[in-house]
Amino acid sequence: MTHRFAPAGALVLSSAAFGLALTALSAIAQQPQGSPPATDVTNRVRGVAQPQAPSTEDKLPTSQLKVPQGFKVETYVHGVMDARSLRLGDKGTVFVGNRVRDKVYAVVSQGAKREAKVVASGLDRPNGLAFKDGTLYIAEGTKISKLEKIEDNLDNPPKPVVIYSDFADHRSHGWKFLTIGPDNKLYVSVGAPCNVCEPPAGNAQIRRLNTDGSGAEPYALGVRNSVGFDFHPINKELYFTDNGRDLLSDDLPNDELNRVTRMGQHFGFPYCHQGDLPETELGAPHACSEFVPPVARLGPHSASLGMRFYTGTMFPQKYRGGIFVARHGSWNKSEKIGADVVYLTLNRDGSVRSIEPFLTGFLKDNNFIGRPVDLQVMKDGSLLVSDDFAGAIYRISYGAPRTAERN
């Protein structure tokens, strides 16, 4: 069963949204012959301006954030510009990547305080991070590099060593996400260089390679722009978020959560969106039935990014083995959605049973006061959430006083 996320809790597509979809598709189909489709979203002005500096501690949205009863949200560290991907080192260091700056940070504790140290700079959109056996892997715009024994050398870090550089240089969806799989291989996203188009070979996929950079191969196809994936802790299958196309309508298509059950599966882009919405700008050369449908729909233009299975034991039993997804928030909807963290409960067979809000409060009067990006389960079972808009990382723990209840 495929679920659709709606703020009111409904898991069905409304008749109004369906009508809007038909109107939008009809308008596209009636475009004059030869008129170029508006396909490259990077040529248009995005509706959310990134702050030029991180928020000061007194301006952070922490006190306005809401979590379920029994949970507590607090500031873990602030002043980290464009805080994006999170990875935990073996010795407890939290590494932080970013999309628009050139630095990778390491968050370390100094007594009761925490600070973020620069461990690499001069990089090209170092968004994706992975950590294995003392080595930090960094996915940049055009390459993957590594920092060996980094936790032993935070004050004098080595220079990054490039292990792989076979990526095209494009600015639309050119930033990458990275993780280590249960097979000890690197998995990296390679986005489509457009809003919707026939992607060049090697794009719109999740790629797998060895940690020395050898053996690269496509693992999942038809992936428009994934900036978050994780492996099921039991069956080891890869789940990933994917951002749907823009400039179709306010209400379609939905972002997706997908599940890879075997290597080489195709998830629809650019021919089919959200599992059942054919793309008409390309002449609909393929039916949606040819592709793997999503296991959950995460809201139209919600910018669903980081996702993690909850593998800790601090949170109540209902959260164990489920998925947290950070929805960055819509930039091209009249009424914004997202800017939150949602929780997905799974059935025993790995399908999605339900979706519910978990961390909210980043939207105020249809404006962002923060934008969640990625998540990290800590060794004590608490959950970190990065916020590139405020330049901060928050920590969510269980056992909070009643003042932290959702209201």
Check whether 28 has a pLDDT greater than 80: no
Check whether 297 has a pLDDT greater than 80: yes
Please choose, from the candidates 325, 298, 178, the residue with its C-alpha nearest in 3D space to the C-alpha of residue 243.
298
Rg (CA), the chain: 20
**109 pLDDT tier (thresholds 50, 70, 90):** confident
SS3 category, 254: strand
Alpha-carbon distance 338 to 330, whole Å? 6
Which residue do the tokens 């196309």 mark?
245
Count Cβ atoms below 10 Å from residue 33 Cβ, excluding itself.
4
The whole-number pLDDT of residue 47 equals 60
| Token pair belonging to 167 | 């990526």
Check whether 336 has a pLDDT greater than 60: yes
Query: Which residues 6+ apart lie within 8 Å of 196 measured at CB?
Result: 37, 39, 224, 245, 269, 270, 279, 281, 282
Question: Looking at residues 186-201, what average pLDDT do you find?
Answer: 96
Q: Which helix (H) or strand (E) holds 327?
A: strand 323-327
Give the mean pLDDT of the chain: 88
Q: Domain spanning 78-404: which CATH class is it, in words?
A: mainly beta
The whole-number pLDDT of residue 9 equals 32
pTM of the model: 0.88
The structural domains of the chain, with segments of one domain joined by +, span 78-404
Measure Cα distances from 244 to 12, 97, 263 in Å: 18, 23, 22
The whole-number pLDDT of residue 269 equals 97
